[in-house]
């Protein structure tokens, strides 16, 4: 029996020692010019406001085809150390540095980012809310939230107050999404708890084994979330959003909101909404298609763990983990809790299958935050990453089996078991030096920053420098990446340093194009247009025996924004037979016969 197992290991990959992985992650943040450092506030020990951490983003703010980086920062509550006051930071991707590496340049000041500083930074999400062809940025704070309108020249302007989205409470997760399918992006923003940092009575201290630490959210009241409907130009040169939370039915006032994700779990053509709540019931809102939502959490079975217990839910991924075409949920949780995998059964119900996936036990002692289902090795199935770190900086003094600073974790998808549920292996210790970094991590964003065909990871670390995990080796298998441009032609040109992308409709050697008018449950949508980013679109890719689905989404992970392009690993398949896009408008476009290992741009309805 032992001999048979040994032969099986060799058959998987005889070229590799058993202890190595073909893909290695290397931290290149410092050598790439990322001098940013997060500031949590400086209390000893840190209090609840300072331990929730912050998010980050990988997004193409200048329209040149590569991913830039954004970091949300905190501030100092007490006397700050010498040096500049902490601000959010924007780093422009300037491409290869000529020495085998990559270069990012700090453009925070010239972009107009640091001028705001309205509050203690939490999260961010990106989307082109005004459909002008460039990505705008929303930043949540403890204090007024900020909406940065992209001016199209490399600078931003804070228009939150003018647009009506400057919520002054404790904002956390956010995500743009076109819930009413009218062609422009609406915005959902979560709020955490009711907390006044300047009131000494609310700076609560807890004690365990004589050790003092900042109390958990159990000691604070939840606050309601907010849904802003995009009502378009305000007639004064700006844009206007309207708070429709109450009439839409998505306040989730009993939850302590952190993670936010839009996703069409019932595949009816409109985006539903999931909120991960800390120490309270999570929430799933089904889109009724008429501007309202129904709370289907309990019926769907996604509010609690398999034992009916609320968990300390932080981050959320809303993707198809088992390649059955339906969106599953993966929610990260506290130490001494497992993360939870909710399998979408396709009938409006989800089943908890954490134990079957083997994703639970390896992360039991970790406190998990940012996450994604993503194909890091391009083999055609989604793997899982979690960013880890405890909230109590003194935890080792009263719970010595736990650690404040922790390794992040990478789980490789080993394929389905007999019941069809994918099985995972923890490959953290074998996947390169970047995964041996020990920090108290929070947000995580995913995308191919060096344009080599495999997915990299940007991690925000609490009160520390970030980690930029370059993927070395994931491009050993085939892949394809799809960018969507929705709306009506003519399309605006890229903003600054344009890098041409392969466009199937313009190249007879790439693929044959066809389009059909779609009809959703709400009726014909032939006259509608989609938002410019294609957020809410469903992309289906068929390559031989492999079929995969991705939905274009803003937000997700933990307080972070990942690349809006859809990335698909193909394994050994060198050609894509079909790329199909179901746009939010209902339009369905198809491209056939696309060679692998390239980035393509699909424009809505373009013949």
Counting every residue written for the chain, the total comes to 607
Q: What span, in angstroms and rounded, lies between the C-alpha atoms of 568 and 582?
A: 17
- Residues 351-368, mean pLDDT to the nearest whole number: 97
User: CB–CB of 539/549 below 8 Å?
Assistant: yes
268: pLDDT strictly greater than 60: yes
Residue 532: its pLDDT value, please?
97
384 and 245 fall within a common domain: yes
Q: What is the 3-state secondary structure (H, E, C) of 330-341?
A: EECCCCCCCCEE
The encoded tokens of residue 187 equal 């915005």
pLDDT digits (tens, 9 = 90+) for 202-225: 888 999 999 999 999 999 999 999
**299 three-class SS:** helix
Tokens 């992985």 correspond to 21
424 and 539 fall within a common domain: no
pLDDT digits (tens, 9 = 90+) for 579-588: 999 999 999 9
423 and 519 fall within a common domain: no
Residue 45: its pLDDT value, please?
85
**Nearest-10 Cα torsion for 307, 390, 383, 531:** 90
User: CB–CB of 557/276 below 8 Å?
Assistant: no
Q: How would you classify the pairing of strands 538-543 and 272-277?
A: unpaired
Residue 43: its pLDDT value, please?
78
The encoded tokens of residue 401 equal 């089996």
The encoded tokens of residue 396 equal 């080792």
**246 three-class SS:** helix
8: pLDDT strictly greater than 90: no
Distances (CA, A) of 2 to 5, 6, 29, 172, 238: 5, 6, 43, 51, 69
User: CB–CB of 244/227 below 8 Å?
Assistant: yes
Residue 506: its pLDDT value, please?
35
Mean pLDDT of the chain: 90
Q: How would you classify the pairing of strands 478-485 and 598-603?
A: parallel
Half-sphere exposure at residue 333, Cβ-oriented, CA atoms within 13 angstroms: 28
Q: What span, in angstroms and rounded, lies between the C-alpha atoms of 330 and 359?
A: 10
336 and 304 fall within a common domain: yes
Residue 201: its pLDDT value, please?
83
* pTM of the predicted model as reported, rounded to 2 decimal places: 0.92
The encoded tokens of residue 446 equal 């995913």
Where does a domain end: 476, 511, 530? Answer: 476
Residue 210: its pLDDT value, please?
96
Residue 82: its pLDDT value, please?
63
The encoded tokens of residue 197 equal 């940092």
173: pLDDT strictly greater than 80: yes
User: CB–CB of 114/150 below 8 Å?
Assistant: no
Phi–psi pair at 396, nearest 5 degrees: -70, -15
161 and 79 fall within a common domain: yes
pLDDT digits (tens, 9 = 90+) for 12-64: 333 334 456 789 999 999 999 999 999 998 778 888 999 998 999 999 999 99
Total domains in the chain come to 2
Peptide bond into 45 cis (omega under 30): yes
The pLDDT confidence band at residue 607, using thresholds 50, 70 and 90, is low
Residue 85: its pLDDT value, please?
79
Distances (CA, A) of 597 to 279, 505, 569, 570: 43, 18, 9, 9
Q: What span, in angstroms and rounded, lies between the C-alpha atoms of 25 and 412?
A: 13
Comparing 173-187, 201-215, 258-272, which segment has the lowest mean pLDDT? 201-215
User: CB–CB of 482/566 below 8 Å?
Assistant: yes
* Cβ-Cβ contacts under 8 Å for 192 (sequence gap 6 or more): 52, 170, 171, 172, 217, 222, 223, 256, 257, 258, 278
Q: Where are the beta strands (DSSP E) in 452-597?
A: 456-461, 467-472, 478-485, 512-516, 519-520, 523-524, 538-543, 546-551, 566-571, 575-582, 588-595
Q: How would you classify the pairing of strands 186-191 and 205-208?
A: unpaired
Q: Can you give the residue range of the structural domain that contains 155?
A: 2-476
Distances (CA, A) of 606 to 112, 171, 186, 197, 492: 36, 39, 25, 53, 14
503 and 520 fall within a common domain: yes
252 and 118 fall within a common domain: yes
Other beta carbons within 10 angstroms of residue 226's beta carbon come to: 25
238 and 161 fall within a common domain: yes
Residue 519: its pLDDT value, please?
39
Where does a domain end: 453, 476, 499? Answer: 476
pLDDT digits (tens, 9 = 90+) for 505-562: 334 345 666 666 543 333 334 447 999 999 999 999 999 999 999 999 999 999 999 9
379 and 449 fall within a common domain: yes
pLDDT digits (tens, 9 = 90+) for 433-491: 999 999 999 999 999 999 999 999 999 999 999 999 999 998 899 999 999 999 975 44
Give 461's strand partners.
441
- Residues 155-180, mean pLDDT to the nearest whole number: 97
The pLDDT confidence band at residue 79, using thresholds 50, 70 and 90, is low
369: pLDDT strictly greater than 70: yes
Task: Find the farthest-apart pair of alpha carbons in the chain and give their distance in angstroms, rounded.
Answer: 76
Where does a domain end: 418, 445, 476? Answer: 476
User: CB–CB of 179/271 below 8 Å?
Assistant: yes
The encoded tokens of residue 192 equal 């955490």
**12 three-class SS:** helix
pLDDT > 90: percent of the chain? 82
438 and 500 fall within a common domain: no
- Residues 308-329, mean pLDDT to the nearest whole number: 97
Residue 465: its pLDDT value, please?
98
496 and 470 fall within a common domain: no
- Residues 573-580, mean pLDDT to the nearest whole number: 98
Report the phi/psi class of residue 419: left, alpha or beta, with left for phi > 0 and alpha for psi in -120 to 50: alpha
- How many helices and strands, by DSSP H and E, does the chain display? 8, 41
396 and 530 fall within a common domain: no
Q: What is the CATH number of the domain that holds 317?
A: 2.130.10.10
Tokens 């955490």 correspond to 192
Comparing 233-237, 239-243, 563-567, which segment has the lowest mean pLDDT? 233-237
* C-alpha Rg value of the chain to the nearest Å: 23
Distances (CA, A) of 102 to 23, 462, 564: 19, 24, 21
């Amino acid at each position: 029996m032992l001999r048979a197992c040994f032969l099986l290991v060799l058959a998987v990959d005889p070229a590799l020692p058993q202890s190595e992985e073909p893909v290695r992650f290397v931290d290149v943040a410092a050598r790439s010019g990322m001098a940013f450092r997060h500031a949590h506030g400086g209390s000893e020990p840190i209090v609840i406001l300072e331990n929730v951490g912050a998010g980050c983003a990988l997004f193409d703010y200048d329209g040149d085809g590569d991913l830039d980086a954004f970091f949300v920062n905190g501030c100092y509550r007490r006397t700050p150390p010498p040096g500049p006051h902490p601000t959010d930071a924007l780093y422009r991707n300037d491409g290869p540095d000529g020495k085998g590496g990559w270069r990012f340049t700090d453009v925070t000041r010239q972009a107009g980012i640091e001028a705001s500083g309205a509050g203690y930074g939490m999260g961010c999400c990106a989307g082109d809310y005004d459909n002008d062809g460039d990505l705008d940025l929303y930043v949540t704070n403890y204090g007024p939230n900020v909406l940065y309108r992209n001016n199209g020249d490399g600078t931003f302007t804070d228009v939150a107050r003018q647009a009506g989205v400057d919520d002054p409470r404790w904002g956390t997760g956010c995500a743009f999404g076109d819930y009413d399918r009218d062609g422009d992006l609406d915005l959902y923003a979560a709020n955490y708890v009711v907390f006044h940092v300047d009131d000494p009575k609310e700076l609560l201290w807890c004690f365990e084994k004589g050790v003092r630490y900042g109390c958990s959210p159990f000691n604070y009241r939840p606050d309601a979330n907010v849904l802003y409907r995009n009502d378009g130009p305000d007639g004064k040169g700006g844009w206007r959003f309207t708070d429709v939370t109450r009439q839409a039915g998505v306040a989730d006032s009993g939850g302590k909101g952190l993670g936010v994700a839009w996703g069409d779990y019932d595949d009816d053509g409109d985006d539903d909404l999931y909120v991960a709540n800390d120490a309270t019931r999570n929430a799933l809102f089904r889109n009724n298609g008429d501007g309202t939502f129904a709370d289907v959490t309990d019926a769907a079975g996604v509010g609690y763990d398999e034992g009916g217990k609320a968990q300390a839910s932080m981050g959320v991924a809303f993707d198809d983990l088992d390649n059955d075409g339906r969106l599953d949920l993966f929610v990260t949780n506290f130490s001494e809790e497992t993360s939870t995998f909710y399998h979408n059964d396709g009938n409006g119900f989800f089943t908890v299958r954490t134990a079957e996936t083997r994703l639970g036990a390896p992360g039991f002692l970790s406190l998990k935050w940012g996450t994604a289902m993503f194909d890091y090795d391009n083999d055609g199935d989604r793997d899982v990453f979690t960013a880890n770190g405890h909230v109590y900086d003194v935890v080792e003094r009263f719970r010595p089996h736990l650690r404040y600073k922790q390794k992040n974790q990478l789980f490789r998808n080993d394929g389905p078991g007999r019941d069809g549920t994918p099985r995972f292996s923890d490959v953290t210790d074998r996947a390169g030096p970047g995964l041996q970094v020990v920090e108290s991590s929070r947000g995580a964003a995913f995308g191919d920053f060096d344009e080599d065909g495999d997915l990299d990871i940007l991690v925000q670390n609490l009160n520390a420098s970030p980690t930029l995990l370059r993927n070395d080796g994931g491009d050993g298998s085939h892949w394809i990446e799809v960018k969507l441009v929705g709306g009506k032609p003519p399309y605006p040109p890229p903003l600054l340093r344009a890098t041409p992308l392969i466009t199937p409709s313009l190249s007879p050697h790439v693929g044959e194009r066809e389009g059909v008018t779609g009809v959703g449950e709400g009726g014909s949508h032939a006259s509608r247009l989609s938002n410019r980013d294609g957020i809410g679109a469903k992309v289906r890719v068929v390559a031989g025996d492999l079929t995969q689905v991705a939905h274009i989404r803003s937000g997700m992970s933990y307080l972070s924004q990942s690349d809006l392009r859809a990335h698909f690993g193909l394994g050994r398949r060198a050609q894509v037979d079909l790329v199909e896009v179901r746009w939010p408008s209902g339009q369905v476009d198809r491209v056939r016969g696309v060679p692998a290992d390239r980035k393509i741009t699909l424009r809505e309805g373009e013949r």
